[in-house]
Structure formats: structure tokens, C-alpha cells
Amino acid sequence: MTPPMLDIEHLGKRYAPGLPPVLEELNLQMEAGELVTLLGPSGCGKTTTLRLIAGLETPDTGRIRLGGRDVTSPFLPPERRGVGLVFQDYALFPHLTVLGNVCFGLHALPRAERVIRARETLALVGLTVFEHRYPHQLSGGQQQRVALARALAPRPPLLLLDEPFSNLDAGLRHATRQEVRAILRRSGTAALLVTHDQEEALAFSDRLVVMRGGRVEQVGPPHEVYAQPRTAFVANFLGRSNLLSGTAGGRHARTALGDLLLAEPAHGPVLVSVRPEHLAFARPGEDGVPVTILAREYKGHDVTYTVRLGQQELLVHDAAGTFWPEGTEARVRVTQAARAVR
């Protein structure tokens, strides 16, 4: 049986005695060619996890295996782990050309083979025509692809990406992210991405790992984690959600929005998550709960309304083109099953 590409067991790390752990009991597996994203707020342990895998930090507890090989006991230094690294600032050498930057990590190969391998990798990222340019002569997106090529040139089975798109403007970030994902697919390289950008995580990943306070809150395919959040933190961090207190009795819960159908049965006091896109304004003749329109954000393809229901404010995404002036009364209804969260 082929071992996982990456196997992390009970990983723990704290930076000083008496301080809370940065990571606590982290468990994660990755398969060959898989794209996984660590998502969470600043300080949740994402980058520390990456640094521990790369060998830039030593864990206090737990094990890391790469392709079945234990790299924590005995400790294996970064240069012997066979993983690629792409950092937020790209870390390109300004005095080297694009070709020179990509050749830099190929010292184990004869010089003639280094150039051949570097040119093959530049072709993979679409930068062959720029091989004689220097980093300052490239755009941000091109510099990003040079950094990716340098990391991919040694043909590592696993690539670690630490917020690699954060220095790009919004339009370039979207295009570069799609390009990088396609390049990784073509190369067959597994990648572990660290980000706090929810849209980026949803678009890039085969699987999503949502972290909070050094622990994993939920793991799964992006569509599953978004549609089936297990905790209030996941529901609110991955997109926005309306959280309502209620009382459940099987497949229904009584809330301020009425008697809601639940995706999974629950009993007793519950916190119910209703996504803004699962609320709609009731048309004439439809049942609905009365609300007051407080504010609206026009986004072109839809409008996000903030409404008041009793003492609580809710968000409603409306794509129907209805225009509700602020201060007016309306009625809302729930269009899909809600989820009880912890």
C-alpha cells in the first residue's frame, strides 16, 4: 500500500514555556497530486505548520512523514526533505536572470542538465521568452511564476505555498491563482497552500483545512465545508452566515425565522446557521417573517441587504433584482434546509 504523500500525526508546537501552543494535536494527510489549503485567521498556526513540514522549525510533539519517511526523528534538515517552497515575497535573486534563478536550486545536476531542466520548467510556466530578463524587469504575476518555476525545477513531490498571491492586486491575483493551479495539475505536484483569503481557498483546493487557535475545526472538499459547516466559527469564517438560537426536535427547529427544516436531525437548544443566499424576500401570497430593511450593498450581480428581525440583524443575498429602500418593511423566507452548528 502506497503511503500518503504527507502524513502529520499529533503535531504540536509552542514558542516559549508558559505560552499557549501555536499548534496542538494537528493531524493531516495528503495524497500525491492533491491540492490542500490551510485556511484560518492570523495566528491560527497555518504558517507554523508549513515551516514545520519544511524543516524550518522543529516540533515539540508529533511526527511528520513525507512519502512514508519520518523527517522529525531523526530531524531532517530542509535541504534533504525534497519539498519546494514559494514564499509571499517570492525571494528571487535580483542579480540573477530568470534562467539563473530557476537553475539556482539544481546544483545536484551537471550544468548542462541544469539549463535543460530549467528551460523545461520555464516552458511549463510559460516564461521561456523571459529567461534572460532580471526580476525587476518582470510584472508581479511573472515574478510569481518564476518563483514557482524555481520551486518546481527540482521536481519535488510536494510544494508548500505561503500566501503566494497576497502581494498581487485583485485582478492579477485571480488570474495568477488560476494559472498556478493549472501548472500544478499539469506537473502532478501536490501543493499545500496557506491563506486567510476565503475565496482563494474555495477556488484553489481539492480539500480545505479550516484552522482556529492551533487546532483543526473542519476538513473536507470546499463545497462540503461551505455547505455543511460543523461549527459557528466555520459557518462565519468561510463566507458569512446568519446564526440564530433555536430549539430542535428532530428535523425541525423553532427559531425567530419560524419552524426551520434541518439538514440533519438535532434535539434541544441549538444554534442554527442560515446562509444569506438561503434567505429570500417573500412575494405576494408567500409566507414570510416580517423584517425591516436597514442597509443594502449593490454588487451588480446581486444585492446584499441587512435586515432587522426583532433584536437581531440578518443578511439576505437577493439576485432577483428587487429594490427595497432602506427603512421599508418586507418579509423573508428560508429557501433551503438550515444546519445546526456547535
* Contacts of 327 by beta carbon, 8 Å cutoff, 6+ apart: 292, 293
What are 50-61's pLDDT values in tens digits? Answer: 999 999 999 999
**Which pLDDT belongs to residue 316?**
95
Provide the whole-model pTM.
Answer: 0.88
**Which pLDDT belongs to residue 87?**
83
pLDDT at 322 exceeding the cut of 80? no
Report residue 314: phi and psi, to 5°.
-125, 155
pLDDT at 175 exceeding the cut of 90? no
Rounded mean pLDDT of 241-268? 94
Helix, strand or coil for residue 113? Answer: helix
* Contacts of 175 by beta carbon, 8 Å cutoff, 6+ apart: 141
**Which pLDDT belongs to residue 256?**
94
pLDDT at 320 exceeding the cut of 80? no
pLDDT at 1 exceeding the cut of 80? no
**Which pLDDT belongs to residue 158?**
95
**Which pLDDT belongs to residue 53?**
97
CA atoms within 13 A on the CB side of 54: 20
> How high is the mean pLDDT of the chain?
92
> In this structure, are residues 220 and 207 in contact, taking their beta carbons and an 8 Å threshold?
yes
Rounded mean pLDDT of 311-322? 87
pLDDT at 12 exceeding the cut of 90? yes
pLDDT at 13 exceeding the cut of 90? yes
* Contacts of 25 by beta carbon, 8 Å cutoff, 6+ apart: 10, 11, 12, 62, 215
**Which pLDDT belongs to residue 25?**
94
Rounded to whole angstroms, the Cα distance separating 174 from 203 reads 9
pLDDT at 49 exceeding the cut of 90? yes
No. of helices (H) and no. of strands (E), the chain: 8, 18
**Which pLDDT belongs to residue 253?**
95
> In this structure, are residues 10 and 165 in contact, taking their beta carbons and an 8 Å threshold?
no
> In this structure, are residues 278 and 312 in contact, taking their beta carbons and an 8 Å threshold?
no
> What's 284's DSSP letter?
T
Rounded to whole angstroms, the Cα distance separating 66 from 72 reads 10
What are 69-89's pLDDT values in tens digits? Answer: 999 999 999 989 999 999 888
